[in-house]
Chains A and B, each alone.
Chain A
Amino acid sequence: MSALGAQAAVEEIDSGQGLFHPKRLLRFLLKDASGMVGLGLLLLVVAAAVFAPLIAPYGPAEGSFSDARLPPAWQADGTTAHLFGTDQLGQDLFSRIIYGSRVSLLVGFLGALLAVTIGVTLGLVAGFFGGWTDRVITGFTNLLLSIPYLVLVIVIATILGRSLTNVILLFGVTGSPVFVRVARGEVMRLKKLTYVEAAVGLGAGAGRIIPRHILPNIVGPLATLATFEMSAMIFYESGLGFLGLSVPPDVPSWGNMLALGRRFLTTHPWMAVYPGIAIAITTLGINLLGDWLRDTIDPRAKER
């Protein structure tokens, strides 16, 4: 390939008319029913988190003992004043579920963001430079992946103690190895392609090649993975809360509500049922969106 041809190829890729043009993505989304449902569900939860004080009829810690353990409105003894009933302190479950969306979304979003940042940085470095750098990073990644995930998460949560920051850090770090793997694999594949070779041949260094030529081409698989990781983190965070290892007990979170609901499971089952529905709706929404994203980025995966 002549130097001039290489230059043209590089410029074409640099122009950024790639797969991720927002307009193109939106056009695809409007055509996909289940993707739209996913987006709708997620927006619903996001709206609940953002506008919690406007939507929730009560504050998250508001309640009186005289209202304790009321069943949902549609059961006998239920009252429309407390749609999903109340817990043992008389706190309104509907309001607490609305406020609880904040913890889940924060942990899912910031945890996934942190995991992507750590994982992709390390993966790019490992895949691009190879050699000892690669061996050290891959070795540590494999090490983290060899400890069964839930056990790892529980042990670290026990050591760190209960706080929102700790939980986000925990998921950010333990969620990063999959991103290291994917980013590293993609870089090693792309590195051999002609256009990257051309860029190297034109004298571009790692500081230009990685952000300009490699990163834009691996955004697809990483974005898909990130959505699934986000729903997994929401699932694991609530589970930790259920074990009493996530955010402090006075913070309204779905996991904490489940932990409480479990104690009253046989007598007041609604205390555990409704927070669980909230978790399922959120993870369903994110997974639908992730499925859609994957099918759009890699149409072969769809195969109807």
Chain B
Amino acid sequence: MIGFLSKRLAESVLLMIGVLILVFFMVRLTGDPVSLILPVNAPIEQREQFREAMGLNEPLVVQFREFMLGAVTGDLGESLRLRQPNLEIILERLPATIELALGALFFAVLVSVPLGLAGGMNPGSWADKLSRSVGLAGQSIPNYWLGMLFIVFFAVELRWLPSFGRDSFTSLILPAVALGFAGMGQLVRLTRSAVLEVRSSDFVRTARSKGLRRSRVSGKHVLPNVAIPLISVLGIQFTYLLGGSVYIEVVFAWPGLGSLLEGAVRDSDFPLIQAITIFISLFAISIHLLTDLLYGAIDPRLRHS
């Protein structure tokens, strides 16, 4: 276990360092970051002044050392527009994004697990057809468009739910459903195929043949075995939703990391863009590490693979 733990830990640390290096060079590879940040018609003096203030006149090695030292000590630079430490801004926005991602995940699981279970247990039934259609719809309908439809229908026409902001619990519903829709499609497919695989195994046949009711077979014998692959996918889904919520956050003016990133892009606030990219990536790597460790604890076979 200790070998597995230290190996995964070392891998994650290497990945994190890699992300830092990649982001550092990505912003500089395209040439002069100043031309990306300042308006096209900015005078030469202003450019020079800016370059000096940003430390861009230092040799690349020095810049890189400063950048890495800062990142390690939790200093992700300062936002150009907001004149505030980037990390502070990000941490302020993080809870909203986590709330939205959890809401989306909750919705996705709530719909997909029962549907996938019903569909998989009765192949060819209407439940199965429904689960296949839902899977396909989730995969094919773009979430930003779905979000806009929700606004037109539920907020403008029916006036049932708020269309923007994060004021009360009701403002979470529309963005969470729109964001969770794609994940729902994926989870339905996955649950269905996992159920199909488990239900044909010997122990399920035994359970059936000793006369257990169908509901008991599904609940006691099939579901626990389907849960294992599902949990690992949920970990991946969650990290996907953290980064993938940008479109939805913009549509619903949800004050999270996604709309922060969009705003930073619009303002060409490169230090902030850089900081958000690093933060979300490191966050995702950490969550992957955690789910892997959890998995290794549950299933010893995985420690050796």
Point out residues on A near B: beta carbons under 8 Å: 139, 142-143, 146-152, 154-156, 158-160, 231, 235, 238-239, 242-245, 258, 261-262, 265-266, 269, 272-273, 275-276, 279-280, 283-284, 287-288, 291, 301, 303-304
Contact = CB atoms under 8 A, between A and B. Distances in A.
A143 B15 contact: yes
Contacts of A280: 140-142, 145
A142 B261 contact: no
B40 to A, nearest CB: 12
Grouping DSSP codes into helix (H, G, I), strand (E, B) and loop, the A interface class, with mixed when no group exceeds half, is helix
- Complex A-B, nearest 6 residue pairs according to Cβ-Cβ distance, in ascending order: A148-B243, A276-B145, A284-B140, A269-B152, A143-B18, A283-B140
B144 interface: yes
Given A149-B243, A272-B145, A283-B141, 8 more contacts: A151-B243, A151-B261, A239-B247, A258-B144, A269-B148, A273-B148, A276-B142, A304-B123
Interface in B206-253: 239-240, 242-244, 246-247, 250-251
A239 B281 contact: no
18 contacts: A142-B15, A146-B18, A146-B285, A146-B288, A149-B243, A150-B244, A150-B246, A151-B276, A154-B246, A155-B23, A238-B144, A243-B250, A258-B148, A272-B148, A272-B152, A276-B145, A280-B141, A283-B142
Contacts of B244: 148-150
A159 B26 contact: yes
Nearest to A151: B243
Nearest to A283: B140
Name B's interface SS.
helix
A261 B149 CA distance: 11
Interface residues of B, number: 49
A245 B26 contact: no
A108 to B, nearest CB: 13
Contacts of A151: 243, 246, 261, 276-277, 280-281
A303 B276 CA distance: 43
Nearest to A234: B142
Contact of B261 (A154, A242, A244, A265): A154
A156 B276 CA distance: 13
A243 B151 contact: no
B30 interface: yes
B136 to A, nearest CB: 6
Contacts of A276: 142, 145, 148-149
A261 B148 contact: yes
B19 A143 contact: yes
A238 B144 CA distance: 9
A147 B277 contact: yes
B123 A303 contact: yes
B100 interface: no
Contacts of B27: 159
A303 B196 contact: yes
A273 B15 CA distance: 41
B139 A159 contact: no
B9 to A, nearest CB: 15
Contact of A283 (B30, B139, B193, B265): B139
Contact of A266 (B15, B156, B193, B240): B156
Interface string B126-160: 00000000001001111011001101100010000
A146 B265 contact: no
B262 interface: yes
A211 to B, nearest CB: 31
Contacts of A156: 26
A279 B141 CA distance: 8
Contacts of A149: 240, 243-244
Contacts of A147: 19, 22, 243, 277, 280-281, 284
Interface in B31-82: 36
A280 B285 CA distance: 32
Nearest to B155: A266
Given A146-B281, A239-B144, A288 B136 contact: yes
B291 to A, nearest CB: 14
A147 B163 CA distance: 30
Nearest to A158: B265
B41 to A, nearest CB: 17
Contacts of A155: 23, 26, 273, 277
Interface string B266-302: 1010000100110011001100100000000000000
A148 B240 contact: yes
Contacts of B144: 238-239, 242, 258
B130 to A, nearest CB: 15
Nearest to A142: B15
